[in-house]
Structure 1
Amino acid sequence: MSSTLPNNRTLQILAAADEGGYGVLAAIAYNVEHVTALVRAAEASHSPLILLLFPSTLKQLPSLVFAASAACRAASVPISLHLDHAQDEQQIRDVVNTMPFDSIMVDMSHYEHEENLRKTRELTKLCHERGIAVEAESGRINGGEDGIADTGELEALLTSPDEVEDFLDADIDILAPSIGNIHGDYPPEGPKLDLGRLERIHSQLRGRARLALHGTNDFSPKLTQECIGNGVTKFNVNKLLLASYHHFIKENADQPITKLIDQGIEVVQRETEKWMVVCGSANRC
């Protein structure tokens, strides 16, 4: 983990979580209603939060990143802004020079290992020069979700000890391992994670990087807490929080737009507060 970023918001949040033995929600926002709900939930729960945007959102709603950054800075609790699954090398280079992100997931996992590592090392150096923390994916997490490229046609690769060392040597700050987790929905039997592998990865890191977990659709509170107990501090969520919002919008689409906005925000806020308790981050700040 880079020692040159002592004031980085994302790393400060994750360091506190690691010390306190809890997880922090890293929650996707697709619009300003989601941003509002997530920030309100963090403040009401006295919880830290990492706010995620997808690269696709930067193209669809380019002003959202600045609104989200302002909301993070104005919040009464620690909140950072993270670009998730940045898979376009040129976009990353543009973002670090023009947008106020605290951290970026440099996701080159669609390349073979050596090329993934080479690109990650080069882009990590660039991000660190701008004070931006870097997350990377070791191995390859299979599947896809709305907003990121689908890697379903590529073979899922579980993270090995050698890969962990390779990415640490690239000076990344946050590691997202592949332990049987998938992007998108799990089969009917639910998630089947290699928690022993997760525990070994955490022991291997020895504080040199923080652990992130992707692919949390269909997780139970028990499985979530088991992962956090094995060292996960950054707990990425998408459908886990937003499924109830999507259902609400579908069932109430004929209502006035102002009512949809207000009540939709309340739906996401309630769900987020519930999962902050599950992760153990409520009442930590």
Structure 2
Amino acid sequence: MALTSTGTLTDAARADGVGVAAFNVITLEHAEAVIMAAEAAALPVVLAISENAVKFRRGRLGPLAAACRVLAEEAAVPVALHLDHVESVELLRAAEGSGIGSVMFDASRLPYAQNVAATADAAAWAHERGITLEAELGEVGGKPGHPALDAHAPGARTDPAEAAAYVRATGVDALAVAVGSSHAMLDRTAALDHDLIARLRAAVDIPLVLHGSSGVPDAELRAAVAAGMTKINVGTALNIAYTGTLREHLAATPNRADPRPSLTAARESTATTITTLLRVITAKP
């Protein structure tokens, strides 16, 4: 399958009444696990690289993006590349020519007027280069380096009327909304506001994106897609499977120097987690 775009996948998912899954990757093994799982499930998928993942790679987007692009081009299912939670304009611009077809430009911590101005500029730049732009309105808590925010705190949720005005003012192609999830949750206890999701879906005619989905139970994910969510972002769930298996495998083989058996086990465990999530997110209501 050829490398595809996030917009192509979200358009098809909306038309079919299902979700499309985006998985955040940090290592090559993460990315390989995503492709293995997508091929096993015969489902399309989005490989997402966050700004924090780029920082981990010493500020260089190119090596991981290039590896993901090759994996996408050689995959047996459609795969899109996405750059996630970008606050740096320099990193946004590094997406050009990398195979990345969509960027989530995150100006959500700025005051509303500054968020609109920065996001509109980012969208205009991206559209000139055939890149679609996602943004966030409201605040999905749990981001690294940000104060903890209760997902149910006043002002945390995305307002439908404000969302409609924001989309008109910025020209973004997808909108991440705050509806009760939180980043980096280690347990699956988040309760989403499905009525709010439905009202947001009615207010804006672009794909809605759920961030912090690792903490959302399967039934809640299905209900979120049924209510109007299209792109479902998952990251921490992969890391739980990966690091948990790696820790167990290394502890069980203390005299082994070769890292490959442990990395293989971690990759396979992660792929199993991803396959399950893919089937939940893409199931028809």
Q: Do the two structures share a fold, i.e. TM-score over 0.5?
A: yes
Give the structure 1 partner of residue 104 of structure 2. Answer: 105
1:23 touches 1:235 (CA, 8 Å); kept in 2?
A: yes
Using the alignment, how far apart are the partners of 2:75 and 2:193 within structure 1? 37
Give the structure 1 partner of residue 192 of structure 2. Answer: 193
Shift of 1:125: 0.4
- RMSD of aligned alpha carbons: 2.2
2:50 touches 2:83 (CA, 8 Å); kept in 1?
A: yes
Using the alignment, how far apart are the partners of 2:104 and 2:117 within structure 1? 15
Of the three residues 266, 269, 275, the one matched with 1:267 is 269
What is the count of residue pairs matched by the alignment? 269
Shift of 1:81: 0.6
Of the three residues 5, 18, 36, the one matched with 1:40 is 36
Give the structure 1 partner of residue 157 of structure 2. Answer: 158
Alignment deviations for residues 56-106 of structure 1 (CA, whole Å, 9 cap, x no partner): 32243331111101111221211101011001223223x133533110001
- TM-score scaled by structure 2? 0.87
Using the alignment, how far apart are the partners of 1:214 and 1:179 within structure 2? 9
Q: How does 1:1-285 map to 2 (within 5 A)?
A: 9-61=5-57, 62=60, 63-93=63-93, 95-97=94-96, 99-145=98-144, 149-152=145-148, 157-169=156-168, 170-185=170-185, 190-205=189-204, 208-253=205-250, 254=254, 255=256, 256-280=258-282
Change (3 A) 1:180 1:218: closer
Using the alignment, how far apart are the partners of 2:114 and 2:273 within structure 1? 39
Q: Answer 1 or 2: higher relative contact order, Cα 8 Å, separation at least 6.
A: 1
Shift of 1:281: 5.5
Give the structure 2 partner of residue 3 of structure 1. Answer: none
Using the alignment, how far apart are the partners of 1:165 and 1:68 within structure 2? 34
SS in 2 for 1:182: coil
Alignment deviations for residues 250-276 of structure 1 (CA, whole Å, 9 cap, x no partner): 112235311012221111111111111
Alignment deviations for residues 118-157 of structure 1 (CA, whole Å, 9 cap, x no partner): 1000110001111111110011222225xxx425379752
Bigger CA drift: 247-256 or 69-78?
A: 247-256
Change (3 A) 1:45 1:105: same
- TM-score scaled by structure 1? 0.87
Shift of 1:9: 1.0
Gaps of 5+ in 1: 1-6
Q: Which amino acid aligns with 1:175?
A: L
1:8 touches 1:132 (CA, 8 Å); kept in 2?
A: no
2:192 touches 2:224 (CA, 8 Å); kept in 1?
A: no
Q: Which amino acid aligns with 2:67?
A: A
SS in 2 for 1:183: coil
Change (3 A) 1:258 1:184: closer
Alignment deviations for residues 166-189 of structure 1 (CA, whole Å, 9 cap, x no partner): 232111111111112222227x89
Change (3 A) 1:153 1:25: closer
Change (3 A) 1:189 1:52: closer
Shift of 1:218: 2.5
Using the alignment, how far apart are the partners of 2:197 and 2:26 within structure 1? 29
Gaps of 5+ in 2: none
Q: Which amino acid aligns with 2:148?
A: G
